[in-house]
């Protein structure tokens, strides 16, 4: 084995060992000092590749953890900056499907852009308009698309009232008695009763919320994405956990 190959292999081993060491160190720090659990630990571990990168790029010069010493130069400031940035740049456009009659379903499906989050909207107080069987057919057809995220409930002025993840809505509609009751509450505009169903979310975020606010809300609601509204309580789009985390990590690596 020549000297250059030996040097390359040695560097590879050192980097691997360092990566593993930082991974275990991150897990220990996140549990012992930051008191993170579950998914929060996973998010923290995502920072490890960035640490490795900053070490070899020269942006990380000192870290203190037992006998290991290093010091963050630019990364700490950048991470704080991106965490406090509003989510508006991260809000993605969505495909909005208004629940109509069964005949319009196929036509709406043909127009869908599968690359965007898909939401089904319902309007409160349209007496006798919605029927469980037709609604269930809509849900099952839309569920073929992996980006079908939410069912959003609006008032008569098209302002946000609540939303429910698509999988939770399907579960309700597939139980005949419970589904019929839910549909009746929608038709009669009974907001208070709707809030009592499992999976119904009435709290959301606005375009002025920060990236950190969005991550906290996703953790609180156990969701991978959130509906975003504007200052007039109208639908603005969808923000996804993956988008925010990618932006934070890329911002730290700059």
The mean pLDDT value for 201-218 works out to 88
pLDDT digits 0-9 by tens, 148-202: 989 999 999 999 999 999 999 999 999 999 999 999 999 999 999 998 998 999 8
Q: Where are the beta strands (DSSP E) in 3-147?
A: 95-98, 118-123
Domain 88-240 CATH superfamily: CBS-domain (3.10.580.10)
- Any idea where the domains of the chain sit in the sequence? 3-73, 88-240
The confidence score (pLDDT) of residue 78 equals 47
Average pLDDT, the chain: 75
Q: Where are the beta strands (DSSP E) in 156-230?
A: 160-165, 205-206, 225-229
Longest dimension (CA), the chain: 81
Q: Check whether 34 has a pLDDT greater than 90.
A: no
CA angle 92, 98, 102 (to 5 degrees): 135
The pTM of the full predicted model, rounded to 2 decimals, is: 0.63
58: its two tokens = 């020269």
* Residues in contact with 30: Cβ distance below 8 Å, sequence separation at least 6, in sequence order: 36, 40, 41, 44, 45
* Residues in contact with 243: Cβ distance below 8 Å, sequence separation at least 6, in sequence order: 90, 92
The confidence score (pLDDT) of residue 175 equals 94
More confident residue, 99 or 31: 99
Per-residue burial over 162-171, b if 16 or more Cβ lie within 10 Å, else e, is bbbbbebbbe
Angle between helices 166-174 and 176-188 (to 10 degrees): 110
pLDDT digits 0-9 by tens, 67-99: 444 444 444 444 445 567 777 776 767 777 777
């Amino acid at each position: 084995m020549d000297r250059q190959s030996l040097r390359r292999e040695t560097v590879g081993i050192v980097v691997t060992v360092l990566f593993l060491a930082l991974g275990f160190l991150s897990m220990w720090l996140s549990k012992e000092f930051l008191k993170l659990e579950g998914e929060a630990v996973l998010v923290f571990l995502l920072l490890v590749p960035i640490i490795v990168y900053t070490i070899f790029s020269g942006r990380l010069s000192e870290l203190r953890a037992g006998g290991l010493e290093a010091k963050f130069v630019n990364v700490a400031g950048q991470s704080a900056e991106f965490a406090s940035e509003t989510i508006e740049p991260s809000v993605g456009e969505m495909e909005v499907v208004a629940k109509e009659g069964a005949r319009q379903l196929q036509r709406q499906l043909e127009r869908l852009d599968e690359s965007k989050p898909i939401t089904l909207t319902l309007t409160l107080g349209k007496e006798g308009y919605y029927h469980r069987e037709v609604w269930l057919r809509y849900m099952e057809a839309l569920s073929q698309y992996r980006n079908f995220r939410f069912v959003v409930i609006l008032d008569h002025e098209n302002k946000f009232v609540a939303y429910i993840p698509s999988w939770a809505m399907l579960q309700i509609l597939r139980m005949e008695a419970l589904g019929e009751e839910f549909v009746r509450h929608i038709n009669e505009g009974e907001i208070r009763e709707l809030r009592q169903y499992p999976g119904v979310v009435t709290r959301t975020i606005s375009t002025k919320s920060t990236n950190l606010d969005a991550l906290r809300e996703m953790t609180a609601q156990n969701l991978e994405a959130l509906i975003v509204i504007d200052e007039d309580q109208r639908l603005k789009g969808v923000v996804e956990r993956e988008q925010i985390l990618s932006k934070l990590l890329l911002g730290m690596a700059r």
